Structure 1
Amino acid sequence: MRVLGIETSCDETGVAVYDSKGGLLAHALHSQIEIHAEYGGVVPELASRDHVRKALPLIREVFHQAQISSESIDGVAYTAGPGLVGALLVGSAIGRSLAWAWQVPAVGVHHMEGHLLAPMLEAESPGFPFIAMLVSGGHTQLVKVDGIGRYQLLGESLDDAAGEAFDKTAKLLELPYPGGPELAKLAQDGDPKRYRFPRPMTDRPGLDFSFSGLKTFALNTQQAAKREEGDPLPRQTLADIARAFEDAVVDTLMIKCRRAVRQTGVKTLVMAGGVSANRRLRECIGEMMVKEGGRAYYPRPEFCTDNGAMIAYAGWQRLRAGQSEPLQFSARPRWGMEGLEAV
């Protein structure tokens, strides 16, 4: 079975073709960073319009890369949610319309299920069951995965997601958009001993997260530094604040993952989502899982952020199980994974 995947949940247009025998045949991604940089964040209407402009050209590009035509497509998968409703509607309308025109089945994919299954695209992939830590700009979740569609939510962020906290703190430090990767880059030059930020909600039982307080702590630290050193702050001070913030987020995520592994007895951990590309987080989680007698799995960096490959793969899993959408389509900006049908 050969599946076309379309991802348009936020500010990246991703398209890919996955083949059950040949694996990932081709993929392409268009980022909207330049469009939204002027505003310091994603503008939903601009995101939707750009998806309209880029989706079909990317589909043609992927077909050209894979040296295939629409006649060889056996199904279409598109992101149905969660995400920005206008952006989701673009991908849903295009995906469902193409499937109808080509007379093949279509399926709406849960965006976070796509992230969760992204490590399956690698040569060495995890087996079930595993613990998934999904860390992105919109979500921070710990999920016990017993199979595709068999998900148990163990914990989630009660306020800002980890990626959102990264971006907001970067904006506070006046770093370029998108701020998360810029903050991580700056943190590489920071002194880990100069500042220490709290590790929120690690001194109590449970697997939920809270990162909003770290932003306030970063703001207070920045303001105190300005009173001592003047405004603007030296680059080294900014790097030291960035390092303290990153260390706090990484330690918090690691502590919660270790707690989940010990509570469930599951020794396989999958980490996915945009923040999973963070080098320090990968090192910390990898070392922790070795000490726990287990192993951590990650997608390659290009598949950590939103992409069409993960949607094509997740869609293939559901289409081959006989699941498909009726002729109408819908977007689900809020959509929990626990209600998904098992495969």
Structure 2
Amino acid sequence: MVKSRWKFAASALALAIAAPAFGQSVQDTPPEVENEIVVTGTYIQGTAKDTAIPLSVVSQEDIEKRGSPSVLDLIKTLPIAGPVLGDTNQFNAAANVRNGGGTINIRSLGAQRTLVLLNGRRFAAGTADTNLLPIAAIGRVEVLKDGAAATYGSDAIAGVANFITRTNVDGLEGSVDYRYVPGSDGGDYSGSLLYGYEGDGVRVLLSGAYQHRAELSVLERDWVLQPYLTSPAGWSGTGNPGAYTAYSGPGGTGTSFGYNIDANCTAVGGFSGFAGTAPVCYYQYMPFDNLVENTDQYQFYGEVTVALSDSIDFRVEALYASTKLPDYRVTSGYLASNGPTGPGTSFIVPSSNPGFNTFLALFRHLAVSE
């Protein structure tokens, strides 16, 4: 699985205005009362002390103190952020096969309602993948904790997270990080390089980063595999062994012995239960999955700013990022909706099946009783 994002932006004026859009509404009043105009937002600039803005800023110093080697780690330290993708997306329906992706979720209103900006501009259409942001180049994060739909649209109902790149880099910087994860295949590690130059009206910033997350099987965590009566969430009634409708004659003919659970259900680790009134052999599918997949992430970012005059800058930004998952483990059994020769046809259990003799003995008993 490979996910990539390209971003290229150029502007003749390096000026980012992140203020609410304005709208006006006029309320009808009786003739003897003057009309009242209510301004709900404005682009008129003011100083920070003139208005109360619910803004949270994570500075470069804060990032360094927190020791956040990835954007995911940084986001998880924000008190305003709710549950996010990025740690493991295997069992999250909201991931929608976005394994390796990350989100930010302000006030737990949903990632689709939180807008992500890079240097004041939209990072991507739709729900942005925060794991593609250039962590090595991030200088600070400004989180608008109030809704900003009037300015940015419905994807900013919960708020806005603006990731701003560094401007104080002069020379070459490098960093490495390693985290030992018990049970994982080698642990997690990352590395990055950052180069900055400023002089003669030109500012350059270049960065490259690599992050690796090692595979972590659910078998390495004993709290995952729980009995059915303790946690039925990791069990399915559509696996093998399952339940069968048996007939005394070939091809689904003759006397029916009803719907019965495979006699070896419990012996192979299943749980004999019911789905409504139908008997079901539940099987635990969790051992076939991983908590974390082998993941490789690459991020390359560059920007060049040229001062054309005292008030005008020319700025070019380019970003390439990629997330790769070479392997992806999933559960091994799903409900068979069709028979071997098409819809409505029957499966045949051969005598070589390990459960055949037990199954046959059961229905022979039923046949005698019948």
TM value normalised by structure 2: 0.21
Counting strand residues as a fraction of each chain, which structure ranks higher?
2
Relative contact order, CA 8 A, sep 6+: which one is greater?
Answer: 1
TM value normalised by structure 1: 0.22
Q: Which has the larger radius of gyration?
A: 2
